[in-house]
Each structure stands twice: as C-alpha cells, then as structure tokens.
Amino acid sequence: LANAHIVPTPDGKLNFEQILRERLGIAAAHVLSSTLTPDAIVGISSGRTVLALGEALADGNFPNVKVVQVAGSSISGENYSPEYCTALIAGKLGARSINLYAPAIISSTKLCEQILNEPSLVHQFELIGSLDTLVYGVSGLDPDTKFSDSVFVTKDVVRQYLKQNAIGAVLGRFVDRNGKETSGPLAGRIIAMKVEAIKNVPRRILVAGGEKKLEIIQTMLDAGFVTHLITDMKTAEKLK
C-alpha cells in the first residue's frame, strides 16, 4: 500500500450508504484527476461507488488518455454498469472511451472461449494488460448486494458461491479470503480482467468502504491488490 485517503464516516443510518458513496467518490475523483498523466491507460470497473467517482469528476482535457472497460457489458441497463462507468469517466476527463463490446457473462464455457479468441477481444485484453492505473470497487456478499448483471447473478448463484467460501466479488468474479477466484456456476463464463492480473497494474486504486465490505477490502490489501486505498474512517480503523 503506497497511499490511503480516508473520508469521514457518515453519522446515523439515514441515507448512510448513499452519503458514504458520495464521499468516497469525491475523494477518488480527486486522487484520479490530480495524478493522471497525459498518456495514461486507465482501467475502470463497475459499481455504485465507481459511478460516484465519475459523477464527482470535474471536466478535464486529457485527449490522449485511454479509459478502458475491464469487464464485459451488462444487459441490465443499470447506470453503474461497467460500460456506463467507463463512458462517464472518459467523458468527464475529455479522454478516449474504450468499451468492451461483449457480455459480462456468457451462456456456456465453450462459447466464452470462442468469443475471447475473437481478434477484437484479443486486442482489448492486450490493452487491459498494458494498464498503468486501475480504478475498481468491490462487493461484499449480503442480501443488499447489487450486481450490474443481476439476470445471471441471482441470489441462488450467490448462495452457491458462499458455499464455496466466497467472501466478495471483484471485477465480476467471486473471490475467497485469500483473494483467489472461487469455483462456481459462472466459472469459465465470465468476460473480464482476471483477478490475479490486478497485481500487474502499477497503480491499483480501490474505492470502497463500510462494514459490509470490510472483509473483502482486507482481503484485497492482504493479497497485494491495492496501492491506493480510498475508504472511510471507521472502516480504516478496523483494517489490519
């Protein structure tokens, strides 16, 4: 961990999650925009906290920056989907948006393998392999967890992953306490950057906070997947 940015934890329960996301988004927007190099290649995941970052960004002028979607697109139409977050952040920065034109989850492992071998996807993942910055969030696994691909990631699917000792999700993939991707019903069907590839990115910005995400945040830190952490005070105090 090279740097940590801590925001105040909201008081009370009224609109707690929304206020927390807004505060984390503002802090993350400052970190990203103030450290961005003119020719950066920035990977963007999905989630409501990453969306809050995009909404908090001031307009910029970075025409040579590439903002790259690192997980497949959602069919749900949610505004925190990876394709929306990528386009929003690129638009705010005045940068190039490079979206991943493939579904996040494929119906079969064979079809997923075929799609990943398409030249356009091969090129996209080569670009993902050259990221110098990755901005991402994480999800804990509880009844309130929202996934941008809720059509495939149902409560039953989540229960099956919990039985496989999954503690959270990152880049649309379920991970255990060691930060390893767990086996489950979506194995071999996901189009997204691999979890272990996060370590190859020089600057890894995790934006997450709150009690429900404490365990998965700790796991990401322990596994070496974070160089810059943006979280809230109460969460930070409980991290080891």
What does the pLDDT profile of the chain (240 residues) look like in tens digits?
A: 999 999 999 998 889 999 999 999 999 999 999 999 999 999 999 999 999 999 999 999 999 999 999 999 987 778 899 999 999 999 999 999 999 999 999 999 999 999 999 999 999 999 999 999 999 999 998 756 666 555 678 888 988 999 999 999 999 999 999 999 999 999 999 999 999 999 999 999 999 999 999 999 999 999 999 999 999 999 999 999
For residue 161, the Cα-to-chain-centroid distance in whole angstroms is 19
Give just the sign of the alpha carbon dihedral 128, 85, 65, 179: negative
Query: Residue 152 has what pLDDT?
Result: 72
Task: Tell me how far apart the alpha carbons of residues 197 and 172 are, in angstroms, rounded to a whole number.
Answer: 14
**For the whole model, what pTM was predicted?**
0.94
Distance (Å, rounded) from C-alpha 213 to C-alpha 233? 13
- pLDDT of res. 75: 76
**Within 139-232, where are the H helices?**
155-163, 214-222
The pLDDT of residue 33 is 94
